């Protein structure tokens, strides 16, 4: 699970949609404080559309083999497509399939107080 999370973070930084989506089960769901509950394929299309650059400093990965889950704690410097950077600390909680080789659910947890205002500037682009 740790290797999959490390690959996930690497793909996130590189905005590598195809490799990132391959880490997820076909019906995977992402819960995001800004985008809400979405199919992983749609979520990452929108996220990468809204992203100019991502930088991640991994703090720790915690795993629970019994419950097929893990959490990644990291600092995320997210530069939006309008070139505004919104840095924050985040915990991503991953739930895996029975063979622990695909992500089935991802819950993203962070305080959106500082990011929501800047993110909302991008919302008109989502309406067109």
End-to-end CA distance of the chain: 38
pLDDT band at 122 (very low <50, low <70, confident <90, very high): low
The predicted pLDDT at position 25 comes to 98
Query: What's the rounded Cα separation, in Å, for the pair 122 and 91?
Result: 23
pLDDT at 54: 96
pTM, to two decimals: 0.88
pLDDT at 84 over 80: yes
Q: Sign (positive/negative) of CA torsion 63, 65, 66, 69?
A: positive
Predicted confidence band of residue 97 (pLDDT cuts 50, 70, 90)? very high
In this prediction, residue 63 has a pLDDT band, given cuts at 50, 70 and 90, of very high
Report the topology of domain 2-122: Nuclear Transport Factor 2; Chain: A, (3.10.450)
């Amino acid at each position: 699970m740790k290797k999959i999370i490390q690959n996930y973070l690497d793909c996130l930084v590189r905005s590598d949609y195809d490799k990132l989506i391959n880490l997820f089960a076909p019906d995977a769901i992402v819960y995001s404080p800004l985008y809400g509950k979405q199919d992983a394929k749609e979520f990452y299309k929108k996220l990468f559309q809204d992203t100019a650059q991502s930088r991640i400093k991994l703090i720790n990965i915690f795993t629970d083999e019994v419950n097929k889950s893990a959490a990644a704690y990291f600092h995320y410097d997210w530069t939006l497509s309008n070139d505004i950077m919104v840095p924050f600390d985040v915990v991503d909680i991953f739930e895996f399939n029975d063979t622990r080789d695909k992500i089935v659910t991802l819950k993203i947890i962070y305080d959106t107080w500082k990011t929501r205002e800047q993110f909302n500037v991008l919302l008109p682009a989502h309406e067109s």
